[in-house]
Amino acid sequence: MSDDPDLGPRLRRARLARAAGDARGYSVRAVAGRLGVSATYLSLVERGAQRPTEAFLRAIAADLGLEAEALLPLAGRVAEDVTAALLARPALAEAVRALRDLPEPELRRTIRRIRDGDW
Amino acid sequence: MALGLDRDALLFEFPDIHRDAVLRVEFQRTLRVPDDGKRHRLPPGFGRFPLRAVDDLDPARVPPDWIKRGGVAMPMWQAEACWLNFSSPNGYPFLLKVAAGKVNAVNGKPWDNAPDFADQDFVEVPGQPWLDGFCVSKGVVRQFVAMPLGAGYTAEEQVTGKAEHGGVQLLAHPIKAAIWEERRAAREAAIRPVPFDALAMPLPPPAAAPAMAMGLAPGGSIVQEIARPREKRDAWDLSVRSRCFVHLANSLAWRAITGEAPPTVPPTAADYARAGLPWFEWYADQPAKEGSGIVAALKSVFALGAEKGEAPLPENEGFDPPEPIRLGPAARARLDGAW
C-alpha cells in the first residue's frame, strides 16, 4: 500500500479496503462502535478535521491492521513512552538524528541487543 | 554474532560469518493437548508469546539470577503449553540446541554447550520447522507444559532432582560460510528456476526458585518427528555460537515484572475441538530421530499429579480428534492473531 502523506485519507483508505471484503463490519459506524467513539468523531478524523489521540490511533491501527508507530507522527503525536524516554535522556534525540539515514536492515540490528550471561 | 529481538522473535545473527546467516526463533501460544495417553496431532498456533529483554526490565523487580543469566523473559500461565517456531529467512543452515531447565529437549541429557554428534542433541534449521515438546520416542514428543519451578513436575527436577534453572535455553551455530557460498554459486549456475524450498535445503541426499519462575514439564503426547541431520559434522562453524536464556515468568507475575498485561489464557483443547477448528499434521521428507530413553522415563504432569494426589492440570478433558490438516513447513502459524 503506498502511503498517503495525510493521516485521515490513509485511515479512510485502509478502512475502505477492509470494507471491500466486509462492508458491514467496516462501515464508519461499525468501526467507531468497536473503538468506542462516535461515528461523527471517526468521520472528522478521516477528513482531517480532528487530530486523534494516541490511544485512539493505537486502537484503530489494531482494528485496521496498520502499524501504529507509523501513524503517530502523521497525527503530530509522539508515543508516550518515547516522550518519557526523551525527557529522561535528552541525548536520545541526537541518537535519532544520527540513525535517521541508516538503512532498514542495519537499523533493525541496532534495535535490541540481547545479552547472553552466565548459565 | 549477535542476538536481537524483533517484535517478539529472537534473531540469532552472524554478520561476521555471512550476511545471510540469520535464524529466527519464536514461541507460539497454543492449546495444551490432553495428557490422556493418546497421541495427538499438532495443535495450532495462537500467536507469539511476548519476549522482553531482561536488561530492559526493572532490576528491582526481577530475580538476581535472571540478571546473571541475561537473555529474555516470557510469560506463561501454569499448565499453559507452547511450541517453538524456527526459520531461516535466507535459507542459511543452522544447528540449534534446545533445552528446558538445561535438560536437552532432543536427547534428554544435561546441558552442554558442545553439540553431541554421536547422540543427536540438536535440530537443523531449515529441516526442523517446529518443536512442540521433549522427544520421547521416534515420531513422538511430550508437549512443553509450563509448571512452577520447585513443584517437582518439570523435566529438570525429574532428571536432576533440583529446581535450579527453569526456562528455555537455546544455542545456535551457523554452517561454514564457504559451504553456503559454494551452494549459492551452484544455485546461481543452475539454469532452471529452483523453488524456494529447494533453495532453503540445497542438499538432496537425506542425511529454589522464586515462586514466579516456571519450567517446562512433559505434558500430553504429540506426533512429531525430530529430523535426523542432513549436514556433516564438519560443515558447522563451531568457532562461533550465539546463546539465549529464555526465562519463564508466571503470567500472574508478568504485570508486576514488566508493567504489561500477559496474554489471555488459551482455550482448552476440548473447547477448541468442539468449535470444529483445525489440527495439523506434517510429513517430513527426512528420517526421524529415535527418542530419548531419559525423557521417555519421565512422568507426565498428569501422571505425577495423580501420584502426588494433586490435580495440576485443569480441564484435562479428552476429545474426539478430527481429521488433521496436512501441512508443509511454512503453513502452521496461519491462525496467528486469530485468538
d(CA B92, CA B178): 12
Minimum distance, in Å, between the CA of residue B189 and any CA atom of chain A: 28
Interface contact A112-B169, CB threshold 8 A: no
Domain encompassing residue A65 = 7-75
Could you tell me if A111 lies within 8 Å of chain B, comparing CB atoms? yes
Query: What value, to the nearest 5°, has the Cα angle with vertex B105 and ends B163 and B84?
Result: 105
Residues of A in contact with B53 (CB under 8 A): 112, 114-115
Whether residue B337 is predicted with pLDDT greater than 60 in this model: the reply is: no
Of B4, B244, B245, the CB nearest to A112: B4
How many C-beta neighbours within 10 Å does residue B137 have?
16
A81: left (phi over 0), alpha (psi -120 to 50) or beta: alpha
The alpha carbon torsion through B169, B175, B177, B178 (nearest 10 deg) reads 160
> Residue A109 and residue B72: Cβ atoms within 8 Å?
no
Instruction: Report residue B248: phi and psi, to 5°.
Output: -105, 120
A103: which chain B residues are within 8 Å (Cβ-Cβ)? none
Per-residue pLDDT, averaged over B298-307, amounts to 88
Cα–Cα distance measured from residue B110 to residue B257, given in angstroms and rounded to the nearest whole number: 29
Answer yes or no: is A32 within a domain. yes
Query: What ipTM was predicted for this assembly?
Result: 0.76
A49 and chain B: CB distance < 8 Å anywhere? no
Whether A63 maps to a domain, the answer reads: yes
In a domain, A68, yes or no: yes
Tell me if B30 sits within 8 A of B46, measured CB to CB: yes
CB contact under 8 A, B68 and A117: yes
- Per-residue cell: A50: 480532528
Considering the domain architecture, whether residues A18 and A69 belong to the same structural domain is answered as: yes
Residue of B nearest to A105 (CA): B19
C-alpha cell at B231: 549436514
Does residue A65 sit at the B interface (CB-CB below 8 Å)?
Answer: no
Distance CA B151, CA B214 (A): 10
The answer to whether the CB of B19 falls within 8 A of the CB of B91 is: no
- Show Cβ contacts of residue B61 under 8 Å, excluding neighbours closer than 6 positions: B256, B257
Query: On the CB side of A110, how many CA atoms lie within 13 Å of its CA?
Result: 10
Cis status, amide bond into B229, omega within 30 of 0: no
Q: Does residue B206 surpass a pLDDT of 70?
A: no
Residues A70 and A55 in one domain: yes
Q: How many residue pairs bridge chain A and chain B with CB atoms within 8 Å of each other?
A: 54
Instruction: Assess if residue A2 is contained within a domain.
Output: no
Q: CA of B241: which chain A residue's CA is closest?
A: A116
Neighbours of A87 (CB within 10 A): 9
- Does residue A40 lie in a domain region? yes
Tally of domains in chain A: 2
CB B28 within 8 A of CB B85: yes
Average pLDDT (B147-153) is 92
A1 is a domain residue: no
Amino acid at B254: W
Strand, helix or coil for residue B113: coil
Taking CA atoms, what residue in B is nearest to A107? B6
Q: How far is CA B278 from the centre of its chain?
A: 21
Q: What is the pLDDT of residue B329?
A: 54
For residue A43, being part of any structural domain is answered with yes
Shortest Cα distance, chain B CAs vs residue A66, angstroms = 14
On whether both A67 and A87 belong to a single domain, the answer is no
- Is the Cβ pair B53, A117 closer than 8 Å? no
Residue A49 and residue A66 share a domain: yes
The tens digit of pLDDT for each residue in B236-293 reads 999 999 999 999 999 989 988 888 899 888 888 888 888 777 777 776 566 777 777 7
Q: A34 lies in a domain?
A: yes
pLDDT tens-place string over residues A44-91 = 999 999 999 999 999 999 999 998 888 998 998 888 888 888 888 888
Taking the CA of residue A36 as centre, how many other CA atoms within 13 Å lie in the half-sphere pointing to its CB?
5
CB contact A115 to B (< 8 Å): yes
Together in a domain, A101 and A48:
no
Q: Is the dihedral of CA A71, A76, A80, A83 positive or negative?
A: positive
A71: domain CATH number is 1.10.260.40
